[in-house]
Structure 1
């Protein structure tokens, strides 16, 4: 399967250490993973260039920032109106994400607001697009499993390590 970067145990160890210590530099990651500093730097650069490490932004908890009212909104949209709906959703700051889906809905949005009246206003604003045929929303009561990636990566068969074998003289 082309188009993806096969991750080995060293990559997974670096991603795990980086996840646990997001402010760690190459030297600290080297110490944490028992991998040479130059290897750390080249692996992080390679994973960054391949898009495996998508960004270096901090993870922001919107609830802790005052946006405790959260919901998922499923949109049914007019045929061929995906670009128009995407532009409309990008103009609404309360829309955290929007994904094209299969099933009865066409788009699934995650929204966050400070209050129920603001959520209602956001839902009305989403529905103001002439391309939105119907929307259905469900409130988030609590988060059962936090967003995560490392268990998925660790569950896959890792690629063979590209780490040079230790010299044993």
Structure 2
């Protein structure tokens, strides 16, 4: 686990607000040296805090406006099989193993209600799915976000060395 300080949070904020910015621009935006930007980004990437450099894609804007969350109750010990079955369905955007009444939570997206129905039927055709329940997404209330969480706690003091020392 990597402890993030105020410089890290400033870099992550600048990178989120300006995802195409290079190191020099991030240096200007955060008012830290370019070498600091490069080393901090490398450190956060190596630690997995920055998971990838992929663009954020909006499936609704791409024509897949019908979205739903689907919970699955699966057969005991069938997680690998269900994983393979779900990965074979392009409309399944993500799936998580969960606790509680259901074993798996999926998010699916389709172009139409008939396509959603066909996707739900295809999910149910997995021999390991015992029961499924779906909930339609009407609108996005809070979009995916991370920065408020990272900035909510105490930050570690900056590791930047003082510009001068009292002697």
Normalised by the length of structure 1, the TM-score is: 0.96
Deviation, 1:15, is 0.1
1:149-164 correspondence runs (5 A): 149-164=146-161
Which residue of 120, 124, 136 maps to 1:123? Answer: 120
Deviation, 1:166, is 2.1
Matched residue, 1:144: 141
Q: CA RMSD in A?
A: 1.0
Residue 61 in 1 paired to residue 58 in 2?
A: yes
Deviation, 1:168, is 6.6
Matched residue, 2:38: 41
Q: Could you say what secondary structure the match of 1:111 adopts?
A: strand
Q: Could you report, residue by residue, the CA deviation over 1:96-126 in whole angstroms, capped at 9, with x for unpaired residues?
A: 0000111111000000000000000000000
Q: Could you say what secondary structure the match of 1:41 adopts?
A: helix
Matched residue, 2:73: 76
Q: Could you say what secondary structure the match of 2:100 adopts?
A: coil
Deviation, 1:16, is 0.2
Q: Could you say what secondary structure the match of 2:25 adopts?
A: helix
Q: Could you say what secondary structure the match of 1:155 adopts?
A: coil
Matched residue, 2:89: 92
Stretches of structure 2 lacking an aligned partner (at least 5 in a row)? none
Deviation, 1:160, is 2.3
Q: Runs in 1 of length 4+ with deviation above 4 angstroms?
A: none
Q: Could you say what secondary structure the match of 1:11 adopts?
A: helix
Matched residue, 1:101: 98
Matched residue, 1:167: 164
